[in-house]
Amino acid sequence: MSTMTDKTVAVVKGLIMDGVAKANSGHPGGAMSSADFATILFSEFLNTNPDDTDWFNRDRFVLAAGHESMLLYSLLHLKGLLSADDLKSFRQLGSLTPGHPEVDMTPGVEATSGPLGQGFAVSVGFAAAEAFLGDKLGSDVMDHYTYALSCDGDIQEPVALGAASLAGLWGLGKLIVYYDSNKIQLAGPCCKVDCTDHRKVFEGLCWQVLEVDGHNHDEIRKAIKDAQLETSKPTLIIGHTTMAKGAATMEGSHKTHGSPLSAEEITATKEKLGLPAEDFYVPEDVIAHFRSRDDGLRQNAAEWKAMVESKMSDAKFAEFWGHVTKPRAELSIDWPEFTPGETMATRKAWGACLNTVSASLPTLVGGSADLDPSNQTQVFRDTYGDFGVDGYGSRNLAFGVREFPMAAIMNGLQLHGGVMPFGATFLTFADYCRNAIRMSALQELPVLYVFTHDSFWVGEDGPTHQPIEHISSLRLIPDLIDLRPADANETAVCLDIALKQEKHPSTIFLTRQGLPVLDPAEYPALPEGPRKGAYVLKDCDGTPDLILIGSGSEVSLCLETAKLFKRKVRVVSMPSAKLFDDQPDSYKNEVLPPEVTARAAAEAGRTGLWYKYVGLNGVVLGLDHFGASAPGKVLSDKYGFTPENFARMIREKY
């Protein structure tokens, strides 16, 4: 062993091989090729607090190549955050070392890696949050780097390049991505699927690009230092490496990507690396070397804390710091009032709400995927400027036509903390965002997805732009709050619900077409009812003969339909199936009495999920086919979204 760093890297590789072998599952090859860079980064550069993994000004590290998880777990073990038993439980039920890093399970893990490409985009969100808060709080308070470890497959996912384009435009100089270019992926050599010159691509995306021998420690150190010195551009460090570097006979083999090394190969490799044959070998001198900076890191964190406390005498700083650190549930938001009887699209109600509350929520940041006027974010943009382009204190994130990167970047913003992110686009483009929305729910991130133009009422743009299955599809994602308000007043309540969430992401579905603004004086349950997901909007005397259930634009349809019956009719507004399903059975039976079996529901989308509420023999007015290009009113008549047709369907059944 020529140096302690060499010995530490060898020990890390031994842990990688042993962990994967014991689990008989995992990815040793890439983890071994990335080990030199990651070990140097963690032991020599990463600024953290050894006693507090949540210290706010810590450097962030995102393992975008999540399948290399045993590398990260080995480093966290050397930091003292995971035990040897944790490493031995790799990929086992209930362990702190799952197959891919999970942010809610393992201390020191900053983000759930998830599918390739998203970790890269998440790191852009981290860096954007740091830049914004650094502008607002001062660079002495927010002054940290975001590092990401990427790989060939990660870079191949288009979401990564979309996020990279924004990072370059925004000039995120404290974003440093290491690309472990071992030129091997699961199915074989990368040359069979990729001819990209990544230097040219990333330089074209306004990045600084550095190329190093990913196994040369001096070149790695110099590249990290040079990346830190470039303050106006993000940096991509391309580390040219060898798959499974150090392996006795399998260096460069794609077979090491997703399969354990054999016992014989591991034994021979340990001998080659100068390690004893014992499993999970970690000598004390390696631990001492790896933690040699800990006392200095502790002192740095303590000085930072004292500095922040000294700034609290500045009323302006203290007020903004309060917004950064206050729990969402404690927010007090004054929403606008709307005039009953007027007609207003719920997307315009959202815009009015955004414009009213944005000044009192200074950490609310976000924007639209190139649909600012349609999504009603244009006033927000004009008022607060475009982040990066107009300065780092600007609050509008102009995402361009990049829905998937937008959603993944929002996750990074929320994971960083201190900001409240939202992103907006048409509902039909939610499919582009879907996997990042799923990752929001999986990581318990209370981001807000604003989806306008929520039905065939989009009209003339035609079937490609008219969502049919999208709301039902999104309702299938666990722990995702669906919000489809019936009018402007419900829109405000739904936004209040979303912004006060601590753990759940929210999707709000908003209309293009105007809807009547309901009068709270006539419907007294309206101001608080949406918080329980569904509520009795208009009731009758005694037990109803018929219950009509609607969401969004179809609530007003239900109210009009009810007038066509001489029977006792109850109208239920259900802006959120998720929130209603979470209520106790006593409340659900109060809203939908089991003895009342004559039920009908209306929503301008797929019908299937509504039978849960109306029963298998109930009536559902919906749309189980694609739309057409025509004015919305024409389509409404064609598809039977009229009180007369809805009443006819109900009479034929009951």
> 3-state SS string over 39-54?
HHHHHHHCCCCCCCCC
The answer to whether the CB of 82 falls within 8 A of the CB of 73 is: yes
Q: What separation, in Å, do the N-terminal and C-terminal C-alpha atoms of the chain show?
A: 84
- The residue with tokens 């909007």 is 537
Residue 336 DSSP code: P
Task: Please tell me the distance from the alpha carbon of residue 553 to that of residue 633, in angstroms, as a whole number.
Answer: 13
Number of H helices, E strands in the chain: 26, 19
**Helices assigned H by DSSP within 258-402:** 263-273, 284-290, 294-311, 315-325, 346-357, 372-375, 378-384
**In sequence order, which residues have a C-beta less than 8 Å from that of residue 257 and are 6 or more positions away?**
27, 29, 30, 184, 185, 186, 243
Specify burial of residue 43 (Cβ count, 10 A radius: 0-12, 13-18, 19+). buried
How many other C-beta atoms are found inside a 10 Å radius of the C-beta of residue 580? 22
Characterize the bridge pairing of strands 364-368 and 343-345: unpaired
Angle made by CA atoms 9, 254, 276, in degrees to the nearest 5: 35
The string of DSSP letters for 283-316 reads -HHHHHHHTTTHHHHHHHHHHHHHHHHHHTTSHH
- The residue with tokens 């009547």 is 516
> Closest Cα partner for 488 from 463, 465, 514, 470?
514
User: What residues are labeled active site?
Assistant: 403
Task: Please tell me the distance from the alpha carbon of residue 344 to that of residue 349, in angstroms, as a whole number.
Answer: 7
Residue 343, helix vs strand vs coil? strand
- The residue with tokens 């964190």 is 301
The answer to whether the CB of 106 falls within 8 A of the CB of 140 is: no
Torsion of the alpha carbons at 333, 442, 104 and 181, rounded to the nearest 10: -120
Structure tokens at 411: 């996750």
> Closest Cα partner for 214 from 282, 278, 150?
150
Angle made by CA atoms 543, 544, 545, in degrees to the nearest 5: 120
